[in-house]
Amino acid sequence: MKKKLRLKLPFRILLSAIAVILIVTLYFPIRSIIKLVGHNYSFSSSVEIVSLDLYDEVIARDYSETLNKIVKDKDFNIDNYESYMNINYQDRPNFLQNVNKLLELKYNVEDINNINSIVSDSFYPKLFQEYIQDISKYLTVKYFKEANFDRYRKYFNGNYEKTILYVNIGLDKDYYTDTTLTDDFSVTMLVNKYHGISDKFSVPDLTKISDECSIAEPNYMSKEAAEAFETMCRDAKSQGYDILANSTYRDMDTQQKTWDTYLNLYGIKYNEKYVTRPGYSEHHTGLSVDIKSKHSNIFKDSKEYDWCLDNSYKYGFIHRYPESKVNITGISSESWHFRYVGVEIATYIYEHNLSYEEYYAMFLDK
């Protein structure tokens, strides 16, 4: 008969101690992992959090999607833990590597969140060149353009929103430099000293303004603009105001003759203020009209001028070159020049005292 194996007391005590140690060491990590999983962390992330001895700090805070996504990454830097917990996760290439570089350059969490949510992947190398203290003040302007960033910083005028707006308009450059030309007609098109028309451009449905609403010479506008002007003309007349279309659509040859005439009469400085080069005149669009009053040779002195200022937006027209916007339009004040943009846009411009350049840069230039 075999004898039962009996362990000596010291050995039994040793085994019991080992068992207790194993139970304790296994129980508490498992319990911590289970709690983290219940806190919305994945199982693998929970294991990593416990192994990094971050359990107590993590469980005491709200769930962090960023931590959940990056804690297993080889580039996870425990020294950046506090920053990570306040950085919003973005599912984009090299997220953690980019965050680490930005933190190393001393960008704060707010800046990093703005950067990650706004800029394209190709913009990061510029941010890695140097620490840009006011980066968020640029990025949070809704019409910020990455391509213009260096120009913004060079032109900066003390106001971030106006700097971005004016650079987007092109005001940091000389007139007629780096211009863009278009073949396409639209009611919202912009033509000025930075945006012109090509030789292929044409206005569809040019429509003659009726004799009732025009001077003796024929005047043409695009169909939609012509109809709107005639409605405005007749409504004005019914209220005791007489307005006429004095100059509307001009082709390239006509604008060249206009340029040459005024150049010979008054010289280049006058033309730079009041006349645009062929290809850059808003009259090419068939959307502009110089308005004449039946009662005064000087439109600004007429009651029709005041009526147009107060009412033209109701018909889709804006006063295109007001005195208060000369620094933006590049054209000296023209009381007579109105532009059709449609009722919705004209109303917004009227209510917010904007030039068309400002409106275009803010809402249309994508």
pLDDT in tens, 54-91: 999 999 999 999 999 999 999 999 999 999 999 999 99
| CATH number of the domain bearing residue 194 | 3.30.1380.10
The contacts of residue 192 (CB under 8 Å, 6+ apart) are 276, 280, 282, 329, 330, 331, 357
**DSSP letter string, 276-338:** PPTTS-GGGGT-EEEEEESS-SSGGGSHHHHHHHHHGGGGTEEEEE-GGGHHHHSS--EEEEE
- Per-residue pLDDT tens over the stretch 84-110: 999 999 999 999 999 999 999 999 999
Residues in the chain: 366
* Residue 194, domain member (yes or no): yes
Residues 354 and 237 in one domain: yes
- Whose tokens are 């620094």? That residue is 327
Best CA proximity match to 229, nearest among 302, 292, 146: 292
Residues 162 and 217 in one domain: no
Residues 84 and 184 in one domain: no
Q: Virtual CA dihedral for 231, 247, 189, 166, nearest 10 degrees?
A: -110
SS3 340: strand
**Ranges 3-7, 173-177, 299-303, 332-336: which has the least confidence:** 3-7
Residues 345 and 226 in one domain: yes
Residues 255 and 211 in one domain: yes
The secondary element (H helix, E strand) that includes residue 221 is strand 220-222
Catalytic residues: 334
Cα–Cα distance for residue pair 358/164, rounded to 1 Å: 11
Residues 281 and 340 in one domain: yes
Ramachandran quadrant class, 169 (left: phi over 0; alpha: psi -120 to 50; beta: rest): alpha
Residues 189 and 257 in one domain: yes
* Residue 351, domain member (yes or no): yes
Residues 223 and 355 in one domain: yes
* Residue 84, domain member (yes or no): yes
* Residue 1, domain member (yes or no): no
* Residue 17, domain member (yes or no): yes
What is the average per-residue pLDDT within 48-52?
A: 92
Residues 81 and 185 in one domain: no
Tally of structural domains, the chain: 3
**Strand-by-strand arrangement of the 243-247 sheet:** 243-247, 288-293, 334-340, 317-321
Residues 224 and 298 in one domain: yes
Residues 76 and 48 in one domain: yes
* Residue 250, domain member (yes or no): yes
Q: How many Å separate Cα 261 from the centre of its chain?
A: 40
Q: Percent of the chain at pLDDT above 70?
A: 92
- pLDDT band at residue 14 under the 50/70/90 scheme: low
Q: How many Å separate Cα 67 from the centre of its chain?
A: 31
Residues 224 and 160 in one domain: no
Which of 116, 149, 173 is where one domain is finished? 173
Q: Evaluate if residue 4 carries a pLDDT over 70.
A: no
What is the average per-residue pLDDT within 48-57?
A: 93
Which of 76, 100, 132 is where one domain is finished? 132
Label residue 177 exposed, middle or buried (CB < 10 Å: 0-12, 13-18, 19+).
exposed
Determine the structural domain holding residue 22 and report its residue range: 13-132
